[in-house]
Amino acid sequence: MEKRFKAIVAGAGIGGLAVAAALGKAGAEAIVYERAESLDDMRYPWHDDVQPEAFERAGIEVPKGSFRKKNWTFVTPDGAVRRMYEAPEKADFSVWRRELNAELYARAARYAEVRFSSQVEGAVRENGRVVGITVNGERVYADLVIDSLGVDSVLKKDVPEITVHDGEEIFAVYRAFCEKRKGAPEAVYTNKVYLKHLGERGIAWAIQDGDEVDVLAGRPGGMSKEVLMRALEKLAEENVTVGERVTRGGGIYRIPVRYPATRMVADGYAAIGDAAYMTVPMLGSGIAASLLAADILAECISSATERGLSPAEAASAGNLWNYERKYFLSAGAEHCGVDVTKRGVLEFSDELLGWLLVSDVLTNDDVCALAKGRFLNIGVKEALAKVKAAGLKKLPALFKVNAMLTRGKRAIAIAKRIPAKFEPRAVKRWERKLVKAVTGKKRV
Ligand SMILES: Cc1cc2nc3c(=O)[nH]c(=O)nc-3n(C[C@H](O)[C@H](O)[C@H](O)COP(=O)(O)OP(=O)(O)OC[C@H]3O[C@@H](n4cnc5c(N)ncnc54)[C@H](O)[C@@H]3O)c2cc1C
C-alpha cells in the first residue's frame, strides 16, 4: 500500500480480529477497540460448530481440542425422530471458541493494535461520511470504520443507510452446560435437536458432551421466562442425563437469524459478522461467514489502494460495495435461500414436518445439506423419485415443500442479481426485491 490506510475496527469479535490481521498484514494501520477488559473476559466459554472449509480458506489451523460431530438426531413436536450421519471429512468441527479467539487475537496483535476496555459509543460523521467513532468519550478518526460490534452494534444507529433487521429476525437463545446427572443411563441419542420445540416456533437441543450436557433453547423474536422454564423442564424430563448444576454459560444471547444485511456499507463504514447479519444460526455459519467476509473486505481495500485509489476512495461506499457484492456472491445469496427454507419449515404443520423427516423423501444427504445451511437443489429426476417415494396421497404436501424450495431459489437468484456498481437507486430497487422475496414483506 502506498499511503498508509487507517482502519478502526470496532469490536474484537471473530470478523473484527480476522479483518484487523488481514488489513495489517497488507500494510494498513488497524486499531481494534473492544469493551472487554482482556481476552479472557470475552464471552462464549464453550465450543461452536464451524464448517471445516472455513479454516483452510482463512489459512488458520484448526484450533486445539476441536472434534467433529458426525451425527445429529432431529426430533419433531410429535416425537418423530430422524438421524443424520455425516461423512467424517465433511462434518463440522466443534471448536473451542476461546482457542479460536486466542489464535485470531495472536494474529491480530502481530499486525494490528488491540485496545481492550474501550467502550464504543457511536459513529462520528462529517459531510455524510463516517470519519471515526466515539470511544470512552473521545473521538478517534480513520479512513474506514469496520463495525464488528455484533448484532446490537451501537454504531448502526448513526449510520441509517445500513439495513437494520427488526426484532423478529433475532433469535433469543439460552445456552448452558449442565453437569451430567450421576448414575443416569447413557443417552441413546447424543446430539439431539428439537425442531418446532414444544410445537412453538423455535428449537432446542441436548448434546452429550463428556461430563456435561450442552443445553440450548431458542425462539425467534424473544423468549419469555415462562417459555424458557417450560422448555428447560421438558428438556430435562426427556433427557435424563441433564443435571441440576450449570457449569458454564447459562445466559440468554441474541443471534441474528435471517438473511444478511442488504446494505452493509456506507461512505467510510463497513459492517461485518453479526453486525451485518451474516449468520444462519445452528448451521455452523456465523464464524465461517465472518472469517470469509474478513478476507473479502481486506482484499477489497488492498486491491483498491494497489490500483492507486486514495484512502478516502478506497473507503467509499462505491468501492466497499465490491466487498458486499463479493460476499453476497460467495455466501450471502445462498443464505437468503436457506432463510426462506427456515421460515417455511417453521410454518409447516407438526404433521407435515414429522412426515418429511421420517419418510424417504429427504435423503440423508438432503438433511445434511439443510442442516449445514446449504440450499436444496432438486433436479427433475430426483423430484420424480421423491414423488414415487412419497406416494400420490402425499402430493399436496410435496407441492408445499416444492413451493417453498421454489421461493428459496428465487430469493437466491435475486440476491445474485446484486448490482455490479454502487448506484443508490439501483441498490434500493434490488434491496426491495430481495427483502420481499425472502420475507414476503415490503420493508426497505
Ligand atoms: C449461543 C450461541 C451459539 C452460537 N453457535 C455458533 C456456532 O455453533 N457456530 C457458529 O459459526 N456461530 C455460532 N454463533 C454465532 C457466532 O458467535 C457469531 O456469528 C460470530 O461470532 C460472529 O459474531 P461477531 O464477531 O460479529 O460478533 P460478536 O461475537 O458478538 O462480537 C462482538 C464483539 O464486540 C464487542 N462489543 C460489542 N459492543 C461493544 C461496544 N459498544 N464497544 C466495544 N466493544 C463492543 C463484544 O464484546 C464482542 O467482543 C453462536 C452465537 C451464540 C450467541
**C-alpha cell recorded at residue 118:** 474501550
pLDDT band for position 17 (50/70/90)?
very high
Q: Which residue has the higher pLDDT, 216 or 281?
A: 216
Tell me: the pLDDT tens digits for 333-346? 999 998 898 888 88
> Average pLDDT, whole number, for the chain?
90
Distances (CA, A) of 414 to 145, 169, 336, 430: 29, 20, 9, 8
Higher pLDDT, 328 or 391: 328
The Cα–Cα gap between 271 and 256 comes to: 14
Question: By alpha-carbon position, which residue is closest to atom 14 of ligand 1?
Answer: 286
For ligand 1, whether the C-beta of 15 sits within 6 Å is yes
Count other Cβ atoms within 10 Å, centred on residue 127. Answer: 6
Counting residues of the chain whose pLDDT is more than 90, the rounded percentage is 62
Please tell me the distance between residue 150's alpha carbon and the centre of ligand 1 in angstroms. 5
Residue 169's pLDDT band, with cuts at 50, 70 and 90, is confident
Structural domains in the chain, CATH included, are 6-66+94-164+260-327 (3.50.50.60), 168-256 (3.30.70)
pLDDT of 384 higher than 90: no
Longest alpha-carbon distance in the chain: 68
Tell the burial category of 87 from Cβ atoms under 10 Å away from its Cβ (0-12, 13-18, 19+). exposed
Mutation pick for ligand 1 pocket among 33, 177, 287, 290 (CB with most ligand atoms within 8 Å): 287
How far away, in angstroms, is 77 Cα from ligand 1 center? 30
344-365 pLDDT, tens per residue? 888 888 888 888 888 877 888 8
Atom of ligand 1 nearest to the CA of 42: 49
Q: How confident is the model at residue 73 (pLDDT cuts 50, 70, 90)?
A: very high
Does ligand 1 have an atom closer than 6 angstroms to the CB of 218?
Answer: no
Evaluate whether 278 touches 293 at the Cβ level (below 8 Å).
yes
For 274-303, write each residue's pLDDT tens digit: 999 998 766 668 999 999 999 999 999 999
The finding on whether 148 has its CB within 6 A of some atom of ligand 1 is: yes
